[in-house]
Amino acid sequence: MPAEAAPPADDTAAALTRLAREESGRVLALLARRFGDLDLADEAVQDALTEAARTWGPRGVPANPPGWLLAVARRKAIDRLRRTSSAWRRTMAAAPELAADAMSAAGDGGAAPSHRRPLLVDDDPGDNPVDDDRLRLMLLCCHPALGREAQTALTLRLVGGLSVPEIAAAFLLSEATLAQRIVRAKRKIRDAGIPLRIPADLDTRIEVVLSVLYLVFNEGYLSRGHSGDVVRVDLVDEAVRLTELLGELVPDHPEVLGLLALQRFHRARLATRTDAAGELVLLEDQDRARWDRAEIAAANAVLHRAISRMRPGPYQLQAVIAGYHANAPSAAATDWPAIAAAYRQLVAMTGSPVVQVNHAVAVAMVDGAEAGLAVLDALAGVDGYHLFHAARAELLARAGRPAEAAAAFTRARALTDNPAEQRHLARRRQEAEQPPAPGPGAGRRVTPSGSS
């Protein structure tokens, strides 16, 4: 974000943020394809946003901000090309011996320095060029040849229009680290020849985008409540926004809708997930009156659209499970047999340890703690996973085996570095060692992951 401009008035600031978030990705995608240069497009959009911050305050917000941004960014890109090529011509005049090397390296006739290796794009703009461009950009940022951290940073930066300081703050990284990550990712895109193109295996590639958006959501979901810093960008809302965007770009894709429904079910419960002191509140103890009913209704509608496509997938199944929880009138009225069945399908589909542990917890809710423990104890390769030990500890406590429960809580606590979880596990260990007087809810506390 522009730093040197005088602070604009509030409504101008809001218009600027909206412009950066909602329009900069679209313009960047279009310019990247037209100019065949991701860096140039990014720099041009940043130049245009800086100009907006400088001139919109005094002159007022233009009538058509998206049109303004495209026109100004395009002009900025051309300005930059002109500056680069005239600087290059001056260099050539002073040191003509550099020309041959640069030409062989750049392969573009020596019109630009060799670092301007062109971005590979296809020529067919498709039926709906602009949105097609944004899909290409999203797929480029989430290319499997980029590391997960690079994919996440690039997606938020280039598609989401977040600034480097905003992303760095959201992930608790230094700005220099994040900026370096983005520079390296852009360099790999250029040097390895990662194309800005709709791939043949679109579904596989959309899966990668979904896993990036899921990670962004989880990062926001898990960190919310740890920091009272209101300046931090809300990654939960950003993930939902970008998943909605992907839903527009590939309409009726069941897994995209599944992830969106999952995110919205979780977002509906966010306010009750931690108490005033920032401690985790278990699903069964959350104040359901404070759940966002409109958000749950919206999630139900999205999930219904996903399921009606009759192509099940892991995100849809997770949304189904989140939906059973969100729609249950009380913790006691939760449809555990249906949830256990959904987890069984999810185990078959993914085999992930998280899912297997959650399946065991659901089985325990249906058939008792010992049945759940039997499922847990049959799992292999989960010993280093804190939620396995946390779930096992809860079931042991419930089965009346307090010493084993305490040991498992201790093991779980040692395996997580999340302070809120550590406090929660320490508290639960104490409670397991000194069982509270029997009362409503006593002895049925179970901690499925993602349920708090």
Partner 1 sequence: MEYMILIHTDEHAERPGPGMPGFDEMMAGWMAYNQRLIDGGHWIAGASLQPTATATTVHRSGDAAPAVTDGPFVETKEQLGGFYMVSADDLDQAIELASAIPLPFASFEIRPVAFRPDAG
- Provide the angle, in degrees to the nearest 10, between the axes of the packed helices 175-192 and 38-59: 130
Q: Which stretch binds partner 1 (CB under 8 A): 75-83, 138-146, 320-328, 350-358?
A: 138-146
Q: What is the C-alpha separation between 444 and 450, in angstroms, rounded?
A: 17
Backbone angles phi, psi at 83, to 5 degrees: -60, -45
Q: Which residues pair with residue 274 across a beta bridge?
A: 280
Distance in Å, CB of 98 to partner 1, minimum: 5
- Residue 238 beta carbon to partner 1: minimum distance, rounded to whole angstroms: 23
Indicate which single residue of 67, 129, 147, 337 sits in contact with partner 1 (rule: CB under 8 A): 147
- The footprint of partner 1 on this chain (CB under 8 A) covers a number of residues equal to 25
Q: Does 383 bind partner 1 (CB under 8 A)?
A: no
Which one, 62 or 118, has the nearer CB to partner 1?
A: 118
Smallest gap from residue 320 Cβ to partner 1 (A): 25
**Considering beta carbons, is residue 99 or 301 the nearer one to partner 1?**
99
Nearer to partner 1, 191 or 248 (CB): 191
Cα-based distances in Å from 299 to 326, 333, 409: 10, 20, 34
CB 123 within 8 A of CB 148: no
204 touches partner 1 (CB under 8 A)? yes
Q: Name the burial class of residue 98, with classes exposed (0-12), middle (13-18) and buried (19+) by CB atoms within 10 angstroms of its CB.
A: middle
- 151, 208 contact by CB (below 8 A): yes
- Choose between 139 and 239: whose C-beta lies nearer to partner 1: 139
Residue from 32, 49, 150, 387 in contact with partner 1 (CB under 8 A):
150
Q: How far is residue 113 from each of residues 45, 100, 104, 186, measured CA to CA in Å?
A: 21, 11, 11, 17
CB of 261 to partner 1, least distance (A): 25
∠ Cα 161 164 169 (to 5°): 110
CB of 184: closest distance to partner 1 in angstroms? 7
Buried-exposed string 2-39: b where 16+ CB fall within 10 A, e elsewhere: beebeebeeebeebbeebbbebbbbbbbbbbbbbbbbb
Query: Taking CB under 8 A as the rule, does residue 411 contact partner 1?
Result: no
Contact 163, 20 (CB under 8 A): yes
- To partner 1, the closest distance from the beta carbon of 149 in angstroms equals 9
Least Cβ distance, residue 145 to partner 1 (angstroms): 4
Q: Which of 146, 216, 342, 391 is close enough to bind partner 1 by CB under 8 A?
A: 146
Query: Per CB under 8 A, does 199 bind partner 1?
Result: yes
Question: In the complex, what is the shortest distance from the CB of residue 147 to partner 1, in angstroms, rounded to a whole number?
Answer: 4
Give the 3-state secondary structure of residue 103. helix
Query: Binding to partner 1 (CB under 8 A): which residues in 179-198?
Result: 184, 187-188, 191-195, 197
* Under rule CB under 8 A, residue 202 binds partner 1: no
Site for partner 1 in 62-101 (CB under 8 A): 95, 97-98, 101
Cβ-based nearer residue to partner 1, 104 or 177: 104
Under rule CB under 8 A, residue 169 binds partner 1: no
CA–CA distances in Å: residue 251 to residues 16, 71, 207, 216, 329: 28, 29, 15, 21, 32
CB contact at 8 A, 420 and 391: no
- Residues lying near partner 1 in the complex (CB under 8 A) are found at 95, 97-98, 101-102, 104, 120, 143-147, 150, 184, 187-188, 191-195, 197, 199-200, 204
